[in-house]
Structure 1
Amino acid sequence: MGASSDDALADELVSACRTTIGDSMRSITYFTVEDYEQVYIRSDLERDAELDRFVANERLGFTSQQTYGDSELGAYEFTIRAFDRGYVTRVIVGDRGVYVTTDKIHMDEFEELATAVRGVLREHRSD
């Protein structure tokens, strides 16, 4: 994927997330098995956060997709992790994923967020 494709993906992810959750969005990180890039961080947050640990944890979702497979619950859609001051929402499509950190938001906004991110990832498939 060339630089312009990377920029287009980043712009679309920011736009899709901003549209669904507005100023509650804290950061967006795109990742694959081999690499990652923080494509957005809100201006009031520290830019020197240690992303390696977060990315390593969210990459476990590639295995989770295979583990859950076609369970009686249906297909995997997204994962939410709750913290004292916000949330992490992870969406994986094929061999690529995104996690978005947010301030506290309403439960129904998570599904809207995941649907928007999934749409962008599907639109930019590498296969």
Structure 2
Amino acid sequence: MRSSDDLSELESELVSVSRTAIGDDLRSITYFTADDYEQLYLRSDLEQDADLGPFVANERLGFTSQQTYDETELGEYRFTVRVFEWGSITRTIVGGHGVFVTTDPLQLDELKEVDTSIRTVLKEFSG
């Protein structure tokens, strides 16, 4: 089990790399495991009391997706993007923990960049 200092460092690092990759188009960052979640960042112009439970429940399905797509001819499962009228959700999972970020509309290259950054941080803290 990681110490609270390790978790604080993980959270800080996730916010830092996400802000660097996305800039002001970043809306929110939520870290989650199978049992828990925490919103790490929420842009100040957004609704502060939104119910994250349904979002987290949906993104946790990614733990199953990792197993479903394991060893397919498509290669390693990387990340999931859902595009909406006014933005997107990008989910990255490494092992038993994941992150989803919400953004204003972005290009796929920008979403790939944030996935790569988040994946690197999650791998670093997995070991």
Equivalent residue for 1:96?
A: 97
Partner of residue 73, structure 1: 74
Deviations 1:68-113 (A, max 9, x none): 1111110000000011110000000001000000001111111101
CA RMSD of aligned residues (A): 0.8
Gaps of 5+ in 1: none
CA deviation profile, 1:2-25 (whole Å, cap 9, x unmatched): 221121111100110111110000
Provide the identity percentage: 58
Deviations 1:13-54 (A, max 9, x none): 011011111000000000000000001101111111110000
SS at match of 2:60: helix
Structure 2 residue 29 is matched with structure 1 residue 12 = no
- 1:37 aligns to 2:38 (yes or no): yes
Number of residue pairs the alignment of both structures matches: 126
Which residue in the other structure is 1:110 paired with? 111
The TM-score normalised by the length of structure 2 is: 0.96
Which structure 2 segments of 5+ residues have no match?
A: none
Partner residue in 2 for 1:46? 47
* SS class of match (1:101): strand
